[in-house]
């Protein structure tokens, strides 16, 4: 098995301090949290940012501040900016962080019910985001919430990549409206990915541990952090993102799975252009 790539998602696009009092909001708070997560074993940060009032923002400037701060606090970590943003944001808002030419960015390849709301990703928008990433050398991480989204990612790459390129997926399971966060769902999703693709899995809320353990056992990779779960255990809020990352690292150590460095993570997920 490859060494384990652990991605931290420390902020999210929906969470508030009312629900998670330890949520980092300002650029320097995010950067300090990312440094702690890097020490605990994270090699990629899935990044959302906030404005001066703590509200979700996809603005280029807010992203630039957080990216600069992270480059100082955790210089070797892979920065993966979100193009999902928050439910309801426009395409123009969501695309902005790509202007910073991050090494990696997320790309959700379909529309999904998201609790009481709808996370809208019509094919033309997905295709435009994908082509922009290819144009500027950003490696997409295909965020797939159900099986149809895998097929859309396959279609995009088959229609637009003249030469086969490495494809990396994140199975986002346990969203109310998407696929269940069970070990069986991880097994099924992993079985339908294009051959040669790599993948991580994200278990939302209380599905975090079953999804994480299934991914570890199958040779996949893992994402966690406040965006995905605010609890460390039953009824106990996590105090830092780093404690969630440290637990995944410890479990990997117990089962003999090495934890990837950021440079090894770059090789595994297919990043070919290192950011400056």
Minimum CB separation from ligand KMH for residue 270, in Å? 18
Nearer to ligand KMH, 75 or 88 (CB): 88
Minimum CB separation from Zn ion for residue 206, in Å? 19
Q: Could you tell which of Zn ion, ligand KMH, none binds residue 249, using a CB distance below 5 to 8 A set by kind?
A: none
CA angle (3, 5, 20) in 5-degree steps: 145
Minimum CB separation from Zn ion for residue 179, in Å? 17
Q: Could you tell which of Zn ion, ligand KMH, none binds residue 14, using a CB distance below 5 to 8 A set by kind?
A: ligand KMH
How many angstroms separate the CA atoms of 91 and 150, rounded? 21
Q: Could you tell which of Zn ion, ligand KMH, none binds residue 157, using a CB distance below 5 to 8 A set by kind?
A: none
CA angle (70, 71, 74) in 5-degree steps: 70
- In this structure, what token pair is assigned to residue 143? 């965020």
- Cα maximum dimension of the chain: 50
* Cα-based torsion angle of the residue sequence 128, 160, 276, 268 in order, rounded to the nearest 10 degrees: 120
Minimum CB separation from ligand KMH for residue 99, in Å? 16
Give the contacts of 113 (CB within 8 A, at least 6 positions apart): 119, 176, 177, 178
Ranked by CB distance to ligand KMH, the top (closest) residue is: 84
Nearer to ligand KMH, 86 or 249 (CB): 86
Contact 171, 199 (CB under 8 A): yes
Q: Could you tell which of ligand KMH, Zn ion, none binds residue 58, using a CB distance below 5 to 8 A set by kind?
A: none
Per the listing, tokens 């950067």 go with: 31
HSE of 107, CA atoms in CB hemisphere, 13 A: 30
Minimum CB separation from ligand KMH for residue 163, in Å? 26
Nearer to Zn ion, 1 or 106 (CB): 106
Nearer to ligand KMH, 7 or 259 (CB): 7
Nearer to ligand KMH, 83 or 96 (CB): 83
Nearer to ligand KMH, 87 or 251 (CB): 87
* Burial tier of 150 (Cβ tally within 10 Å: 0-12, 13-18, 19+): buried
- Catalog residues that contact ligand KMH under the rule CB under 6 A: 13-14, 82-84, 86-87, 106, 108, 114, 119, 143
How many angstroms separate the CA atoms of 146 and 71, rounded? 33
Minimum CB separation from ligand KMH for residue 94, in Å? 8
82 touches Zn ion by CB under 5 A: yes
Give contact residues for Zn ion (rule: CB under 5 A): 82
């Amino acid at each position: 098995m490859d060494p384990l790539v652990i991605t931290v998602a420390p902020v999210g696009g929906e969470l508030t301090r009312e629900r998670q009092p330890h949520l980092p909001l300002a650029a320097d708070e995010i950067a300090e949290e990312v440094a702690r997560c890097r020490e605990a074993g994270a090699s990629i940060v899935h990044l959302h940012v906030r404005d001066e009032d703590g509200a979700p923002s996809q603005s280029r400037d807010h992203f630039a501040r957080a990216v600069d701060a992270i480059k100082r606090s955790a210089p070797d970590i892979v920065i993966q900016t979100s193009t999902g943003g928050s439910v309801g944001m426009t395409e123009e808002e969501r695309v902005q962080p790509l202007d910073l030419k991050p090494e990696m960015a997320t790309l959700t390849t379909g529309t999904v019910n998201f609790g009481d709301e709808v996370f809208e990703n019509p094919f033309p928008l997905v295709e435009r985001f994908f082509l922009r990433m290819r144009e500027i050398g950003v490696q997409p991480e295909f965020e797939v919430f159900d099986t149809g989204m895998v097929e859309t990612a396959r279609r995009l790459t088959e229609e637009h990549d003249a030469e086969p390129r490495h494809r990396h997926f994140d199975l986002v399971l346990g969203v109310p409206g998407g696929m269940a966060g069970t070990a069986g769902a991880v097994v099924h999703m992993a079985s339908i990915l294009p051959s040669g693709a790599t993948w991580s899995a994200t278990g939302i809320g209380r599905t975090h541990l079953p999804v994480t353990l299934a991914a570890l056992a199958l040779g996949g990779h893992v994402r966690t952090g406040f965006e995905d779960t605010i609890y460390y255990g039953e009824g106990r809020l996590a105090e830092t993102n780093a404690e969630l990352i440290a637990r995944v690292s410890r479990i990997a150590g117990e089962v003999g799975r090495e934890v990837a460095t950021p440079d090894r993570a770059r090789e595994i997920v297919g990043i070919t252009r290192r950011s400056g």
